Structure 1
Amino acid sequence: MNPISKLEDQFSFESIDSPDKRREALQEAVQTMKEYVKIDHSVAVLSDLADNKSYIFTGDFGSFFEMDTSGYLTIDSIWEEDIYQRIHPEDLFERHLLELEFFNFLKTLEPEERLNYATKCKIRTLNNKKEYQRILHRSFYLKNSSEGGLWLAVCLYNYLFEKHTAVTGIDGKIINTKTGESIYVDTYVNCRLLLTSREKEILILISKGEISKVIADQLNISINTVNRHRQNILEKLNVNNSIEAVRTADALNLLA
Structure 2
Amino acid sequence: MKILETLNETLLNKEPHKKDECLLDIDIYKNVALMYCQIENSISVLSDMRDNKSYVYKSNTALKLGLSKGKNPSVVDSIWEEEILKKIHPDDKLKKYIHELRFFKLMDSLDPKARTDYNVVSRIRVKDENDEYKFVQHRMYYIYSPYNGKLRFSLCLYGISIDQSILLPSDFLIINSVTGEVIVEDRLNYTTILTQRELEILKFVGEGFTSKEIAGFLFISVNTVSRHRQNILEKLKVKNSIKAFKESFH
TM > 0.5 between the two? yes
Measured after TM superposition, the shift of residue 207 of structure 1 is 7.9
* Kept after mapping to 2: 8 A contact 1:145/1:151: no
* Kept after mapping to 1: 8 A contact 2:22/2:148: no
* Kept after mapping to 2: 8 A contact 1:59/1:69: no
Provide the rounded CA distance (Å) in 2 between the counterparts of 1:71 and 1:112: 32
Q: After the TM superposition, which residues 1-256 of structure 1 pair with which residues of structure 2 at under 5 Å, given as runs?
A: 4-5=4-5, 7-12=7-12, 18=18, 22=22, 25-63=25-63, 64-68=65-69, 70-162=71-163, 164=165, 166-168=167-169, 170-187=170-187, 249-253=243-247
Measured after TM superposition, the shift of residue 48 of structure 1 is 0.3
Amino acid at match of 1:153: S
Amino acid at match of 2:34: K
* Kept after mapping to 1: 8 A contact 2:85/2:93: yes
Amino acid at match of 2:62: G
Measured after TM superposition, the shift of residue 209 of structure 1 is 6.0
Provide the rounded CA distance (Å) in 2 between the counterparts of 1:70 and 1:12: 26
Q: String of CA shifts for 1:77-117, please: whole Å, max 9, x gaps.
A: 00011111111101101111111111111111011211221
Is there any run of 5+ residues in structure 1 with no aligned partner, and where? 189-202, 211-245
* Kept after mapping to 1: 8 A contact 2:49/2:153: yes
SS of equivalent residue, structure 1 residue 44: strand
Measured after TM superposition, the shift of residue 20 of structure 1 is 11
SS of equivalent residue, structure 1 residue 107: helix
Deviates more, 1:7-16 or 1:179-188: 7-16
SS of equivalent residue, structure 1 residue 103: helix
Identity %: 27
SS of equivalent residue, structure 1 residue 154: strand
Provide the rounded CA distance (Å) in 2 between the counterparts of 1:108 and 1:15: 23
Provide the rounded CA distance (Å) in 2 between the counterparts of 1:98 and 1:247: 19
Provide the rounded CA distance (Å) in 2 between the counterparts of 1:16 and 1:157: 30
Provide the rounded CA distance (Å) in 2 between the counterparts of 1:247 and 1:95: 21
Q: String of CA shifts for 1:140-167, please: whole Å, max 9, x gaps.
A: 1134342221111011111001362633
SS of equivalent residue, structure 2 residue 175: strand
* Kept after mapping to 2: 8 A contact 1:17/1:145: no
CA RMSD of aligned residues (A): 3.4
Provide the rounded CA distance (Å) in 2 between the counterparts of 1:102 and 1:108: 10
Provide the rounded CA distance (Å) in 2 between the counterparts of 1:46 and 1:89: 23
User: How many residues align structurally?
Assistant: 204
TM-score (norm 2): 0.69
Provide the rounded CA distance (Å) in 1 between the counterparts of 2:53 and 2:171: 29
Provide the rounded CA distance (Å) in 1 between the counterparts of 2:18 and 2:34: 24
Is there any run of 5+ residues in structure 2 with no aligned partner, and where? 189-204, 213-239
Measured after TM superposition, the shift of residue 134 of structure 1 is 1.3
Check 1:22–1:31 CA distance in 2 against 1; reply closer, same or farther (3 A cut). farther
Amino acid at match of 1:100: L
